[in-house]
């Protein structure tokens, strides 16, 4: 690799790691809460 490519590598990877890690964590933190569990017990109640 040329000196320029090595220099680019040295700057690109820390920047890319920071950006992707930040957005990755943001995506996980801001995800909607899980959907409630199935309604099976309610059906049993109705059957009674």
Measured on CA atoms in the order 29, 31, 35, 37, is the torsion positive or negative? negative
Residue 41 CA, distance from chain mean position: 32
Residue with token string 């809460």:
33
Which residue, 34 or 41, has its beta carbon nearer to other proteins? 34
Q: Using CB under 8 A, count the residues that bind other proteins.
A: 27
CB closer to other proteins out of 8 and 39: 8
Nearest distance from residue 42's CB to other proteins, in Å?
A: 23
Contact call for residue 2 and other proteins (CB under 8 A): yes
């Amino acid at each position: 690799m040329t000196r320029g490519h090595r220099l680019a590598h040295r700057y690109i990877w820390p920047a890319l790691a920071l950006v992707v890690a930040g957005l990755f964590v943001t995506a996980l933190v801001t995800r909607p809460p899980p959907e409630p569990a199935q309604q099976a017990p309610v059906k049993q109640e109705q059957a009674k």
